[in-house]
Chains A and B, each alone.
Chain A
Amino acid sequence: GAVVSQHPSRVICKSGTSVKIECRSLDFQATTMFWYRQFPKQSLMLMATSNEGSKATYEQGVEKDKFLINHASLTLSTLTVTSAHPEDSSFYICSARVSDYEQYFGPGTRLTVT
């Protein structure tokens, strides 16, 4: 099956700094990738849809200037959390769309902001 990787798997940063998370499709090309956030004991929440070569589409309530998404190639999308704060601490998961009905998830990135 299709493999999606994320890097880093865990990151701890200080409040006010920025963190970049990479999402890669390893053996297929993905024109569309999704970024999710999951707080403890809660379901996945879609943050944004990342389309190769165009601007990301953000869900209501997600600050596009704080969560910068760049989908520069068919195999790579990045999410940068700018000026991170403790409330941004969460599990960030990307997925890559293979077809209308299939998407594969990365292993997730645990972000802790101190």
Chain B
Amino acid sequence: GQNIDQPTEMTATEGAIVQINCTYQTSGFNGLFWYQQHAGEAPTFLSYNVLDGLEEKGRFSSFLSRSKGYSYLLLKELQMKDSASYLCAVPDSNYQLIWGAGTKLIIKP
């Protein structure tokens, strides 16, 4: 079966750095996605990793280790607008996304 784990909630301070972890167990691997979802809105795409290593995109970076079944999303210079849920997702063999439960990130001033 497939399983994705991520923390339920995290709190961080404005201007700081936060790392959101995701571990997965899948039969086969077709990459890993990170999405951001603000309350009441649809998810928006943040990153897609298929090879090991860190990919940086502005204030957001995503890391993947396929051998460890592990990924993290790194958010730097946190802003209040970054308060949202962050969803980790992996495609199954039909490329349909299997979603983690999401990590609710709370930013405090």
Among B11-19, B39-47, B52-60, B62-70, the stretch that binds chain A is B39-47
Residues of A within 8 A of B30 (CB): 100-101
Q: Determine whether B97 belongs to the interface, using a CB cutoff of 8 Å to chain A.
A: yes
Q: Which residue of B lies closest to A1 (CB)?
A: B45
Could you say which of B87, B96, B100, B102 has the most chain A C-beta atoms within 10 Å of its C-beta?
A: B96
Q: How many of chain B's residues have a CB under 8 angstroms from any CB in A?
A: 20
Q: Determine whether A46 belongs to the interface, using a CB cutoff of 8 Å to chain B.
A: yes
Q: Is there an interface contact between A46 and B97, defined as CB atoms closer than 8 Å?
A: yes
A-B contacts counted at CB < 8 A amount to: 45
Contact string, A85-103, partner B, CB cutoff 8 A, digits 1/0?
Answer: 0000001010001001111
- A101 to B31 alpha-carbon distance, docked (Å): 8
Q: Is there an interface contact between A106 and B42, defined as CB atoms closer than 8 Å?
A: yes
Interface of B is mostly: loop
Residues of A within 8 A of B40 (CB): 91, 108, 110
Q: Taking the nearest CB of chain A, how far is it from the CB of B38, in angstroms? A: 11
- A105 to B31 alpha-carbon distance, docked (Å): 18
Q: Which residue of A lies closest to B88 (CB)?
A: A43
Q: Is there an interface contact between B48 and A101, defined as CB atoms closer than 8 Å?
A: yes
Q: Is there an interface contact between A108 and B42, defined as CB atoms closer than 8 Å?
A: yes
- Report which B residues bind A (CB closer than 8 A): 30-31, 40-45, 48, 50, 87, 91, 94-97, 99-102
- Report which A residues bind B (CB closer than 8 A): 34, 42-46, 49, 91, 93, 97, 100-108, 110
Given A101-B31, A104-B45, 11 more contacts at CB 8 Å?
A43-B87, A43-B99, A43-B101, A43-B102, A44-B99, A45-B99, A46-B97, A101-B30, A102-B48, A103-B97, A108-B40
Q: 11 A–B contact pairs at CB < 8 A? A: A43-B99, A44-B97, A46-B97, A49-B94, A49-B96, A93-B43, A101-B31, A101-B48, A101-B50, A107-B42, A108-B42
